[in-house]
Amino acid sequence: MDDTITPNQVLAMVAGAISQDLRADIIIVGSLAASYQLLRDSAQAVRTKDVDGMVAPHARALQSATRVADRLLGEGWVPQASADY
């Protein structure tokens, strides 16, 4: 079974799942961001188990984090708790 996916496809799915007005407050980091930069002109696939993100830094951080968390929780997102973390 071939479940390959490109970084562009993953980012498109993430963007589609997050409201337009919240996207400017979220920065994608980690392996997905690196693979996007390295593979952006390629159809090469990426394997990652998660999307690492951070809230826009500096003076807006607390406001942005609160706004993002409140909106996602209000839209039915559920924090994933794990005893491993």
72 — pLDDT class (breaks 50, 70, 90)? very high
- State yes or no: pLDDT of 46 exceeds 90: no
Chain centroid, CA 74 distance in Å: 18
Closest CA to 36 of 49, 44, 61: 44
- The answer to whether residues 10 and 32 touch, using CB atoms and an 8 Å cutoff, is yes
The phi, psi pair for 57, rounded to 5°, reads -80, -175
Structure tokens of 16? 């589609």
Q: What is the pTM (predicted TM-score) of this model?
A: 0.62
Structure tokens of 5? 């996916």
